[in-house]
Each structure stands twice: as structure tokens, then as C-alpha cells.
Amino acid sequence: MATPIAIPDCAKKLLLVLYPTVDWSLVMFFSGLPWWVASGTAAITLPNPLGIGGYRIYLGASTDFCDQATINTLVHEAFHVQQFTGIAGGYGVGFLRPGFFKYFVCFFSNKFKYEDNPYEKEAYAHEDAFIACNIKPCDCSTGQPVYNPTTPDDIVACNPDLIVRKPRIPDCGTWWAFLLALVVVPILAILAFIGHLFDYWNCVYLQMQAQQCREWGISRRQECSAWADQGYEQCTEWADEGYSACSQWADWGSSHCCDWWPCSWACKVLVWVSNWVCVVSVWIANVVCHVSVWIVNMVCIAWTWIVVAICLIWTTILRTILLCWWR
Ligand SMILES: [Zn+2]
């Protein structure tokens, strides 16, 4: 039975350094394999069978992060996450995700040989390059895996290419392999969906996702109001500039008036009136500016609320269907 585990900080930080394109908060780690995977498999990486995002790394052989072999396997599996999320952000429905689909196209077109699949070749090449550098992110001298802070520097010093800054996805596949995958992958997706339908970990994942939606909402609302504050400041700055331009113009105007009556009198009246027209227009423009910023801010906040509400309603419906509340 596979059980979710929290990988130690040192392993998490290593993944953040090696694969900066991946959102690691959407990846769950398991000790053990899914029940339908052949025992003896060291590890496997799969999309969340019921989710639209998120991946699962199952560590079948070992979860002892003081053992360098576990770290090496994690580096390999995490490379697959990087491949899968490299196309369309890794999103899709269950197993039906473009990056995961392409894995099978490449597997089929390379004579169904696991070791000849470019997806695996590249993952093994990356793992080997990592092993060659002898990077030790987890210091276990105290008996517990503790993060070794020189890890990022060690990686850069040994082989900067270990850091996958842009998704690396192999280019492979024939048309018939594509057609075969069009048949096989949806069948796998349906089987995985059914096989994991009442899997308790879906509930855990959905709870995680709901929490993430809430956090996203909070940070998004902060962004909205920070933007609005900046907008109000900008409006006030423009208005101040406008008022000083008006009074400068008035000063210049009155000092250049003719000095004989009634011309001087008419000129002063004209300057006075146009100064007031100028001040009033700046004032109106300033009010319009503030109101526009306020409206955009309201739209920004309302939109955030709607997205969060849809996410929470959807996860609540799924959790009800999966009987998560009663388990
Ligand atoms: Zn692999």
C-alpha cells in the first residue's frame, strides 16, 4: 500500500534548485507503489488520476533520504515531473495530459522498449550526471537528514546543466505510435480513474488543492490592493503636477500682461479665469482617475472571489462524491 510521506527539507530544497520550472507544492510523495504496479519497480511518477493538475511520485524501493540511492532515484523521478509539466503546464484530466501522453508515443515508437524511450534515456542521463557530481543535499551526520546549504553552489560549480531552467522534453514519435497512444492512454486513464476512485489520497489531495485555492485568493487580493494603492498614488502625483502647472502658467500669464488700462484689466481677468478652468479640470481628472482605479480594483477582487469560489465548490463536490467527509 502506498502511503503519502513528507520528504525531508533537504530533498525538497534539492528539487527546488534542480527543477525551478515545477510547482512542487502540487506534487505528492508516496512510500510504496500503487497496487496495480509490479512490485520490484523502484519508483514511478504518475499524474493525479482524478486531478486536473498535480503529480504523484511513488518511491517503491526506499524512502531513507540518508541513503544517496534514494536521492538519486528522486532526481530521476522528479525529472519526469519536469518533462510532464513542460507541455501545457502539465494540466489535463486524470492521466490525459499532453506531456504524459507523449511519454507513451515515444515509448511505442521505440519498439516498446522502456530503456530506449527518450523520456527514460534523458531521465537516466540526468540522474547519471547528478551522481557524477556527488552532490550531497542531505547531511546525515546527526542521524537525521539536514539540508546542506552549499548544495546550490556545489551544483553550479560541478555542472550548471543539472539545473533545468527550461523544460526538457524529448522530440520523438511516429504517426502510428501517436494513433496507438490515442487508443491506449484514454483506456489507461479510465482504468486509473476507476482504480483510484475511492483512493483515500484523493481526499488528501483535494484538501491540499482547496487550501491552495484559498492561499492563492489571499495573495491575489493583496496584489489587487497593492496595485490600487500604487494607482491612487500615481493619480495624486499627476494632480499635484497639474496644479503646479496651472499656477506656473497663471504666474507667467499675469507677468506678461499689457500695462495700460483696460488691456491690463482684461488680461488679468482672462488669466484668472483660465487658471480656475485649469484647476477645475485637474480636479475632475483626478477624481476620474481615483474612480477608475477603484473600479479596476473591485473587478480584480471580484474576479479573485469568483475563481476561489468555483475552485472550492468544485473540490467540495468531488469530496462529497468520493465520500471524503465520512472517512
Ligand atoms: Zn524513469
pLDDT digits (tens, 9 = 90+) for 131-184: 999 999 999 998 889 999 999 999 999 999 999 999 999 988 899 999 999 999
Which pLDDT score, from 0 to 100, does residue 204 have?
A: 81
**Which regions of the chain does DSSP assign to beta strands (E)?**
3-5, 27-31, 43-47, 55-59, 138-139, 146-147
Separation of CA 90 and ligand 1 centre (Å) = 17
Separation of CA 77 and ligand 1 centre (Å) = 6
Separation of CA 111 and ligand 1 centre (Å) = 17
Residue at 255 is within a domain: yes
Separation of CA 271 and ligand 1 centre (Å) = 80
Which has the closest alpha carbon to 2: 143, 146, 204? 204
Percent of the chain with pLDDT over 90: 71
Separation of CA 123 and ligand 1 centre (Å) = 6
| Cβ within 8 Å of residue 229, ≥6 positions away | none
Q: Phi first, then psi: what are they for 119, rounded to 5°?
A: -60, -40
- For the cut 80, the answer to whether the pLDDT of residue 1 exceeds it is no
Looking at the fold, whether 17 and 139 belong to one and the same domain comes out as yes
Looking at the fold, whether 175 and 258 belong to one and the same domain comes out as no
Which pLDDT score, from 0 to 100, does residue 4 have?
A: 84
Torsional sign, CA 35, 36, 42, 47: negative
At which of 156, 173, 197 does a domain end?
Answer: 197
pTM, to two decimals: 0.70
Number of domains in the chain: 2
Residue at 222 is within a domain: yes
Looking at the fold, whether 27 and 56 belong to one and the same domain comes out as yes
Residue at 178 is within a domain: yes
Residues facing residue 58 across a β-bridge: 30, 44
Looking at the fold, whether 167 and 220 belong to one and the same domain comes out as no
Looking at the fold, whether 270 and 153 belong to one and the same domain comes out as no
Least confident of 89-93, 174-178, 194-198: 194-198
Residue at 205 is within a domain: no
Residue at 21 is within a domain: yes
C-alpha cell at 241: 503636477
Which has the closest alpha carbon to 78: 190, 162, 1? 162
Looking at the fold, whether 104 and 248 belong to one and the same domain comes out as no
Confidence of residue 77 (pLDDT cuts 50, 70, 90): very high
Residue at 176 is within a domain: yes
- For the cut 90, the answer to whether the pLDDT of residue 324 exceeds it is no
Separation of CA 124 and ligand 1 centre (Å) = 7
Residues, CB-to-ion distance under 5 Å, ligand 1: 120, 123
Which pLDDT score, from 0 to 100, does residue 195 have?
A: 86
Mean pLDDT, rounded, for 100-110: 95
Q: How far apart are CA 7 and CA 11, in angstroms?
A: 6
Confidence of residue 325 (pLDDT cuts 50, 70, 90): confident
| Cβ within 8 Å of residue 77, ≥6 positions away | 43, 44, 45, 57, 59, 123
Which pLDDT score, from 0 to 100, does residue 176 have?
A: 95
Contact predicate 90/140, CB 8 Å:
no
Residue at 283 is within a domain: yes
Residue at 204 is within a domain: no
Backbone dihedral region of 323: left (phi > 0), alpha (psi from -120 to 50 degrees) or beta?
left
At which of 164, 197, 230 does a domain end?
Answer: 197
Separation of CA 228 and ligand 1 centre (Å) = 47
Which pLDDT score, from 0 to 100, does residue 87 have?
A: 93
Mean pLDDT, rounded, for 264-292: 94
3-state secondary structure of 238: helix
- For the cut 90, the answer to whether the pLDDT of residue 196 exceeds it is no
C-alpha cell at 175: 504517426
Enclosing domain of residue 52: 3-197
At which of 134, 168, 197 does a domain end?
Answer: 197
Mean of all residue pLDDT scores within the chain: 92
